[in-house]
Structure 1
Amino acid sequence: MIDHEEKKFFEKQGFGKEMGFGQRPAILVIDFINAFTNYQDSDMVLAANLEKQLIETNRLLDASRPLGIPVIYTTVSYDDNFKDTGIWSLKQSGLMTLRANTEAVKIDARLHSQEKDTLLTKKYASSFFGTDLTSRLTSQQVDTLIITGCTTSGCVRASVVDAVSYGFRPIVVEEAVGDRSVAAHNQSLFDIQAKYGDVVSVETVLSYFEEMKKKALSH
């Protein structure tokens, strides 16, 4: 857990201010693929128990549908020769389980996905690096990214840093992101809230959706 005195110090120094929601959100579901979520399969060496996070993500997806909010999923997959892992595979051998066109790299079937949703394939941590995510978002005038997925200390954090760098408001949903390490998860949420985006509850996002509905009905 983060020390209380550290939190007070950061607040005193001007960190952790609220960025807030914008006008046009999209939901970014990061790497909720079988390789990372199917922890009961011993072949999925990168997996963790993320069942609660999947449930909370579905709550957001279901609530977003009447509003027509874009939903984007990411997966990580590599060619058969794994040359597209670059030098990252020197750091973690588990990347070799992420072979293209296998069950491991498919989006977890428990998610309430729809055909109109977008799937992006990435090679590295950030959802922005080497993908056309920025173009997809700007073409739809998206200014806010509601972020769920895994892992908090890895691909979620990297995507948040890039999101704010490109001018999008990163909103990380606390109950809908997860990690293999509780300590890494907590530290990353603290770091994101302090410097890069807003860490909010599922209920806060659902309230934001309700406000969007009211505004739409009033016009």
Structure 2
Amino acid sequence: MSVTVPPSGFDRELDATLALAFEKASALYRARGFQRRIGFGSRPALINVDLANAWTRPGNPFTCEGVDDRIIPGVQGLLAACRRNGHPVVHVTTCYQVTDRSNPLTDMGLWHDKIPIEVVAQSNPEIWAIDSRIEPIEGEQVLIKKRASAFHGTYLAGFLRAAGVDTILVTGVTASACVRETLCDGLADGFRTIAVKECIGDRVAGAVAWNLFDIDAKFADVESVERCVAYLDDVGHVPIAAE
């Protein structure tokens, strides 16, 4: 399957170069037994990673591309499917209590030495609130994380296991960091991992296409919104086999 989904505005020459690289890499991977299918399970949950204002609205250091025209509409479709079928939904965001970079007791750890995470201060809830276009409803979890992965140091795995979940559909930003780390840790924790390709974004040209290609080879199945919505609607009735 093709997992190259460059957001609007990406350079055509870069897209063509990546497509050629993926074609050659796919041949190598297939010959060595990579790109297997993990498939959908019987009890899904939707995990939306960092689809909060600091990432989805313009004018912030973390602002990502493709949010308005691609990610938000896709997530809205997934949310509707989850809500009409009673599937668990977890909205993940990131914020910090102590954003003084000189304070050794900050909950930012050392991450602030690489990126400007002090921007998402817990004292400014508007910036780390979930985007109102995909606002959580009663019964949906809002999980605050401190690191890239939604699993690292959080209750997510325990919550999912208690709910009987065996499959996670992951959306959000960024493909190269928090989404990727969440998928890797989700697989490591024993969940079937599905990356919803139209609903994953980043800030850097080529980052989405490259990471989805690599994720699909090693850590998750990259599937379309259409297929994921069909699965969410049908999972309680007719299982959908992996292709």
After TM superposition, the score normalised by the length of structure 2 is 0.84
Equivalent residue in structure 1 for 2:86, among 68, 90, 95: 68
Structure 2: how far apart are the matches of 1:127 and 1:210? Answer: 25
Q: Determine if the alignment matches structure 1 residue 203 to structure 2 residue 222.
A: no
Match of 2:36 in 1: 17
Structure 1: how far apart are the matches of 2:238 and 2:37? Answer: 22
Shift of 1:210: 3.1
User: CA 1:134–1:213 in 2, change beyond 3 Å: closer, same or farther?
Assistant: closer
2:197–2:223 Cα contact (<8 Å) kept? yes
Structure 2 matches for 1:104-143, cutoff 5 A?
104-143=127-166
After TM superposition, the score normalised by the length of structure 1 is 0.93
Q: Determine if the alignment matches structure 1 residue 47 to structure 2 residue 63.
A: yes
2:93–2:130 Cα contact (<8 Å) kept? yes
Shift of 1:115: 1.6
Which structure features the higher share of helix residues?
1
Shift of 1:45: 1.5
Q: Determine if the alignment matches structure 1 residue 178 to structure 2 residue 201.
A: yes
Shift of 1:186: 1.2
Structure 2: how far apart are the matches of 1:13 and 1:215? Answer: 33
Structure 2: how far apart are the matches of 1:115 and 1:28? Answer: 16
Equivalent pairs counted in the alignment come to: 212
Match of 2:178 in 1: 155
Structure 1: how far apart are the matches of 2:127 and 2:224? Answer: 29
Structure 2: how far apart are the matches of 1:180 and 1:200? Answer: 21
In structure 2, the gaps of 5 or more residues are 1-17, 101-105
Structure 1: how far apart are the matches of 2:208 and 2:232? Answer: 26
Q: Give the fraction of aligned pairs with identical amino acids, expressed as a percent.
A: 34
Q: Which runs of 4+ in 1 moved over 6 A?
A: none
Structure 1: how far apart are the matches of 2:233 and 2:80? Answer: 13
Q: Determine if the alignment matches structure 1 residue 191 to structure 2 residue 209.
A: no
Match of 1:32 in 2: 51
Match of 1:100 in 2: 122
Shift of 1:213: 5.0
